[in-house]
Chain A
Amino acid sequence: MKKLSANQKILAGVAIAAAVALPLVTPDFRLFQASQVLIYAIAILGLNLLTGYNGQLSVGHGAFFAVGAYSAALLMNFAGFPYWTTIPAAALICLVVGLLFGLPALKLDGHYLALATFALALAVPQLLKYKAFSKWTGGAPGISIDKPPAPFEFDIFGRAFNADVWLYLFTLGITVLLFFCAWNLVRGRIGRTLVAIRDQPMAAQAMGVNTAIYKSLIFGVSALFTGVAGALNALTVQYLAPDSFHMFLSVFLLVGMVVGGMGAVPSALFGAVVIVFLPNIAGSISKSLPGAIYGVLLILLVYFMPKGIWGALDRLRQFRLPRHRDTGSS
């Protein structure tokens, strides 16, 4: 099992401490943006477990994001669940949905799986609008949920500890927990198995790995991560509609994963920063062609960092510290 070096531990600790201290220096709406980054990072991490580590290409993870979001909203609005209980509930629901989708997905490889998941991404917004469900889902106009209040209110260094700060810290806590779980999952035997199935499925099978179980399990776990992100998204945005889970969401998650870097846990954070802020940058450059600018920026990113931002950072690190050259990247 790979362990973190002392330097890496310090780096992780500093990053978490900085994230916790962020509310002291940022206004509320920036915290909202920071929460969005963390949420998309969780979703991208989920996708990365499936696609980056296990090689199952999903172009439909927006669907699991939507399932998580609507699970949280419906449990709050119709079953009276307190907001924080909707996170484990959404996790469980999405795990089951992911497993159920993962089983038939075993029969599909490569492009075919991509198409099947893409169909899922296309179907979900339609299903949310379907009138038989609209009593719960609110149909096309969507539904609102109450903003989770801060459990206590006080001022710290002149900064009010309000609902926005609380939501951010709540999201941060869950993000740290899930990143730790993912890192634990991939750094050991399971991680090696997943990678083996991705790179040499025949050899893995020959060595006695039950590829079917691993492949469907990781589908479930991946959906769990993305579903939790969806639930958190519902809590921070407090409004859900089919338009929120358009097929583009799935594409953005995929973009985030590739740009961040595939097959590494922390890379999801970089991918999330890109998908949250790149559209804003593109929009501020040109109003007539934001899509084209976005595309050009994306091509430049991928051209100059073919292994994603994380891969580029890794190369930089190896360049600086030639003695610690290692090929691992988790």
Chain B
Amino acid sequence: MPLVPLLAIGLMLGPVAAGLWGTVLPAFGQMRVIGEFESPLEPFRILFNWAGLPKAVTLSITTGIGATAISLMIVSLLMAGWSGTRQFRLIERMLSPLLSVPHAAAAFGFAFLVAPSGWLSRMISPVLTGWDRPPDVLIVQDPAGLAMMLGLIIKEVPFLLLMSIAALSQSQAQSSITIAQALGYGRVTGWLKTVFPRVYHQIRLPVYVVLAYSMSVVDVALILGPNTPASLSVQIVKWMSDPDLQMRAVAAAGALIQLALVIGALAFWRITEIIAAYLGQRWITAGGRGKCDSIIGVFALFSAFVAALAIILGLLILTIWSFAGFWGFPEALPDQLTFRNWARHGPGAWQAFGETALIASVVSGIALLLSIGCLEAEHRHNVQFTRRTVWLIYLPLLVPQTAFLPGIQSLMLGIGAETGRLPVMIAHLVFVFPYVFLSLSDPYRAWDIRYATVASALGATPNRILFRIRLPMLLRPVLTAVAVGMAVSVGQYLPTLLIGGGRIETLTTEAVALASGADRRAIGVFGLMQTGAALLPFALVLIVPNILWRQRRGLRHG
């Protein structure tokens, strides 16, 4: 077997396997240093005695499945109703760069927007509402986790949309939809019946990742999620840092529950897919041409527009707070604008920006090389990453970070590895590589192999085919993959904190550290800088192909 795929799998699975080992042992009371337990199931007994467990588990399930299903629905209907239109390109231009907005920054912006004292409330108070104080209602951190679910949706819609657009270029959608419409199908119905099955096939793994991520997210849950009790992953992090060592065993038990929940939800999703496919087949063969297509289309466009607007206004409110002097309620704008907040926090933010950018660039670059190496090896040596082996690569995205990161940490300490930038990069790679591989693999595989056959027949070597034909044709997916990788790296909190021993200060660790203090001005500064760190690569994804291929229309169409 060629070297690169082995290396990649080793880099992914080594840390996860070690980390999981370090989770399973204490969960069953088998880690001496964490203390003696009367029976191996003692940690689970303590866990099940925690009164918050049913709620925490329910939260994990409802927010995870809810956020995933709603995001997928919005994206699918949006593409069904509008792909190829002017409105769609507008939404695409609005949403694509928003993928780069880190979850933490988007969540902060969302909270500053919709809280009872948030910007929306300020804009209509007191004129429309009569409020001279914010209403005492629980919007952010509501016990049902609705704010958290919405905060996830506004971030997952751009992610799934970008993945779908990348998949669409491999789906010959335009011809299908033209034929469907010629046969009298409505736009939405025709697209769902002919194109959606092909697109979904390509974005299935991103959807699973969204599901697993949404179920176990920590930073968004800390900012928007409830606290009485918190979601399971947040509670696991809290137990992990409890001075009482035995709580780490309880945390490990909780981590295994979280893992089981994620696996269960993925199984549930898979079964739903099969049922949906069966029903969908009957729906397709029934031959209905679609009745409410235009209403559904307008609804989808509106939802996507609101999602985009929520992030954009969120960034705007972060900007305003970063320049705000005193700002009481219900004033729509601060009493005065000042540079003092930037003078106070700017130097620290720039330092963290440099660290963040360095780590993100190196990690994404390595992840891209590994991904191309794997995919090219698969192509040349006919080593198939079957669906089953590919699951291994996605393991870091399906296992809650809290479950195996402390295990990685112990491993590093065990071999005497210093905490610092390099280990943080390796830890980031565990999370960044799957995303890069994930976003690149489907377009890469769906590339029409006959180009290679023709080039080969003309005497081109495999390397020449790779560099002169395949990669140039796949420029947009390649750049998208790098940008996704950088955004993922920029947003990493737990790996940076745990593996960096707190010595590596990225914009995300700084911003999350500020979150507990709720200094909205400092959060504004760091949230904006964090967003900026991830914005540039995505701008390039949109710009570079259009510049490089301005004379080649076929390559430009994503």
Q: Do A and B come from one complex?
A: no
Q: State the B residues within 8 Å of A (CB).
A: none
Q: Which residues of A contact B (CB under 8 A)?
A: none
